[in-house]
Amino acid sequence: MRFHLQSFLKSEDQEELHRFRIQVKKISAFLRLLDHINHDGKHIKCFKPVKKVFRRSGKLRNSYIARKLKPDSLPENKSAGSFRKLVYRRWEKIKKANLAIRRKIKGVKPAPLQRFYRSELLQVALSLKQLRSDDQLHDCRKRIKGLLYNYKRFKEVLDMALNTRYLEQVEEAIGKWHDQLLVNPPNSPDQTEEDPTGKLKSRITRLTRNFYQRALYMR
Domain range annotation of the chain: 2-104, 110-218
**Cα(14)–Cα(174) distance, integer angstroms:** 21
- What is the model's pLDDT at position 29? 93
End-to-end CA gap in the chain: 35
Q: Is the pLDDT of residue 190 over 60?
A: no
Torsion of CA 102, 120, 214, 151, to 10 degrees: 10
- What is the model's pLDDT at position 168? 96
Mean pLDDT of 84-103: 87
State if pTM tops 0.85.
no
Q: Which residue has the higher pLDDT, 124 or 39?
A: 124
**Cα(128)–Cα(203) distance, integer angstroms:** 12
Q: Is the pLDDT of residue 205 over 70?
A: yes
Q: What is the mean pLDDT of the chain?
A: 86
- What is the model's pLDDT at position 181? 84
124 within 8 A of 144, measured Cβ to Cβ: yes
For 6-19, the pLDDT digits (tens) are: 999 999 899 999 99
Mean pLDDT of 90-110: 84
Region for 187 from its dihedrals, namely left if φ exceeds 0, alpha if ψ lies in -120 to 50, beta otherwise: left
- What is the model's pLDDT at position 23? 93
**Cα(93)–Cα(103) distance, integer angstroms:** 15
Q: Which residue has the higher pLDDT, 139 or 219?
A: 139
114 within 8 A of 162, measured Cβ to Cβ: no
pLDDT cut 90: percent of the chain above it = 46
Mean pLDDT of 164-170: 96
